[in-house]
Copies of this chain bind each other. A is one copy, B any other.
Amino acid sequence: MGKILMGPKMLPYPRPTLLVGANVDDRPNFMTVAAGGAANVEPPMISVAIQHHRYTHKGIMQNLTFSVNVPSTDLVRETDYCGLVSGSKVDKVKVCQFNVFYGKLKNAPLIEQCPINLECKVVHILDLGSHSLFVGRVEEAHISESCLTGGKPDVNKIKALIYTADPDREYRAFGHVLAKAYSIGQELKARE
């Protein structure tokens, strides 16, 4: 299998599509983020990477809190919009008709229409170059009742978006189940 060198480059694996929220000058704002992921399990933490000049960056620095809202496939238009325009010029909440609510944290605005909402308190900020990496501890998680099955979150109902950048910049749905995790690998134990 021939390999090609691409230089120093981040390459596509499933990237999330998240709506990161912050109050900026006391008003809720949201931006689309495809850089970040789970950062710790106990206590639960999440990282999001945001360019320094972004309006949401300003809000997170003001309050040291942010929210992570997971949009579903039916919010793909609103989600894309929140990555196209700046909250310094437009009231994205109004344009997207988001119903905003708050939980434990006063300055982490949450979007009712998104099936999952995480309230995060900043515990680390790394200035990495083009972006700040914010690591947030999840203080509370909210889920839409309609996205539970037997009291557990159900990805088939949440319908989160995947962001892909190569070759084209697109949003995708989750695909079919390939295998059970912590299970199919057992087959290789015979080779040990």
Contact = CB atoms under 8 A, between A and B. Distances in A.
Interface of A: 1-18, 34-47, 49, 70, 73, 76-85, 90, 95-96, 101, 103, 112-113, 116-118, 123-124, 126, 128-131, 133, 135, 137-146, 148-150, 152-155, 158, 160-164, 166-189, 191-192
Given A3-B144, A9-B141, A13-B160, 17 more contacts: A1-B112, A2-B144, A4-B142, A5-B140, A11-B118, A12-B155, A15-B16, A39-B128, A39-B133, A77-B184, A80-B179, A83-B181, A95-B191, A128-B135, A162-B174, A169-B182, A171-B178
Q: How many copies does the complex hold?
A: 2
17 contacts: A1-B112, A4-B148, A6-B141, A9-B138, A11-B116, A14-B16, A14-B160, A15-B37, A39-B49, A39-B133, A81-B189, A95-B191, A128-B135, A153-B166, A155-B164, A169-B182, A172-B177
A177 to B, nearest CB: 5
Contacts of A73: 178
B3 A117 contact: yes
Given A142-B5, A145-B1, A49 B38 contact: yes
